[in-house]
Chain A
Amino acid sequence: MQGGQIVQRLRDRFGGAVLETHEHRGDATLVVERAMLIDTLAFCRDEAALAFDVLMDLTAVDYLKYPGREDGPRFEVVYHLYSLGHNHRVRVKTRVDEDDAQVPTAVDLWPIANWFEREVWDMFGVRFAGHPDPRRLLMYEEFVGHPLRKDYPINRRQPLIGPSA
């Protein structure tokens, strides 16, 4: 399927929950409401015409200092999906505010979401509701803050502490 068709198919199915779509540089993208996120992802995976069987990447972006987005929802959680059978891609995003930085987990859909979500929690402080193992992935547990947030200064140093015994 072409990117436009994928976006259209998802729009038809989820209508009001789709906040925004675009195809900048050929990457089919849609932003969905958090409440419908897991339904959208499950539909992407299970619908035969879409069959996105690989969660290729899961990350987040902190839009705190992005021009025009300073007031808007701070975080975007970004899912890059790929279909081995159809050889097509889609990017699904959802937006969350800082005070309520929580997204439902996708571990039940793809086991790889476990580590990807741990990394997003570690780096951005976005929680994944229902995650079976919500530890940090790269930093150590004693680390304070979330380093990829835009308000985390790059030169801040913290004592290196080993894993707790």
Chain B
Amino acid sequence: MAERTRRQILLGEGSGTGSGGNLQVGVGPAHPAMHGIIRIEAELDGETIVGADVEIGYLHRAFEKDCEVGGYNNAIPYTDRLNYVSPLINNFAYASAVEKLLGIEVTERCKFIRTAMAEISRICDHLTCVGASAMELGAFTVFLYMIKAREFLWELVEDVTGARLTISYGRVGGVKADLPDGFAAKMTNAFKETREVLDEVHRLLTGNRIFMDRMVGVGVLSREETIGYAITGPLLRAVGVGYDVRRAQPHWAYDRVEFEIPIQKDGDNYSRYLVRMAEMEQSMRIAEQALALMPGGPVNVDFEGRPIDPAAYVDQGKQGKTEGLLLVPIRLSPNLQGQNRGAWDRVNAHDKRVVLPPKETTYGSIEGLMNHFMLIMEGYGIQPPLGEAYFASEGANGELGFYVVSDGSDRPYRVRCRPPCLPPMAALHRMIEGEMVADLIPTFGSVNMIGGELDR
């Protein structure tokens, strides 16, 4: 390595494997299009990729090991950080896996909330994927439009969960809290904006000459290989296989909503793009139906008397108008965790061994306090019987599975996450071999690699 001539450095001579003098190029992990966490060791013959070795693991955070040292609910924040673009799906899938292990059912309302929120997450995920990969092809406008739409959806998520990204909204046996007031109206508005953006993006990209030149026929993976590599989700549907966990093994409320599974047949980047674009519309359909069918109707808690806004209540107190203030009923938002027993019961399974009591009960009765302690104290908590369970749900990138093994204690003995984007990454070299170097970028973008779940 010491005496590389200028010619060797500039032309890459002598740096190849020796067979035919091919050039070895390391792409990433610091390359922006590799999202900072993937290294592809590509072997080039001119501009053609003849071989590629994909290296992962740069974002490994010992998710599975960490899950083993805390209680069952302690893993919920870790699952946020698996697929950090659609964390709600991870939350719910993990919680459902533990529920399956426990053998409990969540309430109907909770199932519908999970369905609607998972679909909102899925749209965010697809928006990010399509937007980012369009940006990497130079279509920066599309990226900004899609991020605008995602912002509307993240505001919805923030309304419900209190956070935008690391939401920790799922719980074993339910969800953290009910939906806030006026959620349906906000969702209608956000979907209206999203539909407009999708329409604009269709006009900008779907028939765009430059975009199609880069996408059509690029990154093709055959049907047989796609199945052999256990690829699920949009990439599998882009080769004409209509497998979707939501239809094949309906969980939550997917068996009660109508939706279509968009399919393309070419298996190239363009097909994947079309599948994702179509799926966003279907996700909005599902979320709208879920909200319409949700038992308990729109989220509105009935109060007698004159319910007032808590902020106005505080204002009055500050002004010294305290007369009779204690008697005024306050209208609290149902998504304030544990503030309202009714809202709590609607969204959480009625199982004292699993679900924390509402704060009203914890602070108001000795039984509630004891119940709370029994679930929080070390060595107590949720204790599923000995056994194992695998729960599959449809993540944004394909089948998201959680395999949980219990040893009867309050901590999971083993939590395995089947990451939906690992199989496409394992097959990436098959997609890019024989293509040009520049095609690496759209192909990598179409895989929608999410480092959090890939490396765990």
Contact = CB atoms under 8 A, between A and B. Distances in A.
Interface in B233-255: 241, 243, 248-249
Contacts of A148: 64-65
Interface stretch (A12-20, A32-40, A59-67): A59-67
A54 to B, nearest CB: 5
Interface in A30-69: 53-57, 59, 61-62, 65-67
Interface residues of A, number: 37
A92 to B, nearest CB: 12
Given A27-B389, A137-B57, A163-B55, A80 B403 contact: yes
Contacts of B350: none
A29 B390 CA distance: 11
Given A25-B387, A27-B390, A112 B57 contact: no
B56 A138 contact: yes
Contacts of A55: 230
Contacts of B413: 61, 66
Contacts of A54: 227, 230, 232
Given A24-B388, A154-B66, A111 B57 contact: no
B382 to A, nearest CB: 15
Interface stretch (B86-94, B174-182, B420-428): B420-428
Given A59-B416, A84-B241, A112 B230 contact: yes
Interface centre among A123, A138, A154 (most CB of B within 10 A): A138
B192 interface: no
Nearest to A149: B65
A61 to B, nearest CB: 5
B249 A114 contact: no
Contact of A154 (B65, B227, B403, B416): B65
B285 interface: no
Contacts of B389: 24-25, 27
A111 B229 contact: yes
B418 to A, nearest CB: 4
A148 B62 CA distance: 8
Nearest to A68: B386
B426 A27 contact: no
A147 interface: yes
A57 to B, nearest CB: 4
B455 interface: yes
A67 B418 CA distance: 25
Interface in A68-101: 78, 80, 84, 87, 89, 91
Interface in B98-156: 100-101, 103
B60 interface: yes
Contacts of A89: 390, 392
A25 B100 contact: yes
A115 B227 contact: no
Contacts of B455: 138
A10 interface: no
Q: Which of B39, B101, B227, B390 has the most CB of A within 10 A?
A: B390
A136 B248 CA distance: 34
B57 A25 contact: no
Given A59-B403, A84-B227, A138-B57, A154 B422 contact: no
B429 to A, nearest CB: 11
A154 B67 CA distance: 11
Contacts of A163: 39, 55
A56 B401 contact: yes
Contacts of B101: 25
A51 B27 CA distance: 39
Given A61-B414, A139-B60, A24 B387 contact: yes
A65 B230 CA distance: 32
Given A57-B401, A61-B405, A147-B65, A115 B228 contact: no
Nearest to A24: B387
Interface in A115-149: 115, 123, 136-140, 147-148
Contact of B388 (A27, A111, A136): A27
B228 A140 contact: no
Contacts of B62: 147, 154
Contacts of B416: 57, 59, 78
Interface string B323-362: 0000000000000000000000000000000000000000
Contacts of A25: 100-101, 103, 387, 389
A63 to B, nearest CB: 9
B80 interface: no
B60 A91 contact: no
Nearest to B55: A163
Given A57-B403, A111-B228, A112-B427, 16 more contacts: A24-B389, A25-B387, A56-B230, A59-B403, A59-B416, A66-B413, A84-B243, A87-B248, A115-B425, A136-B57, A137-B56, A138-B455, A139-B60, A147-B65, A148-B65, A163-B39
13 contacts: A54-B232, A57-B418, A66-B413, A67-B386, A67-B407, A67-B408, A84-B243, A87-B248, A110-B228, A110-B230, A111-B427, A112-B229, A154-B69
Interface of B: 39, 55-57, 60, 62, 64-66, 68-69, 100-101, 103, 225, 227-230, 232, 241, 243, 248-249, 386-390, 392, 399, 401, 403, 405, 407-408, 413-414, 416, 418, 422-423, 425-427, 455-456
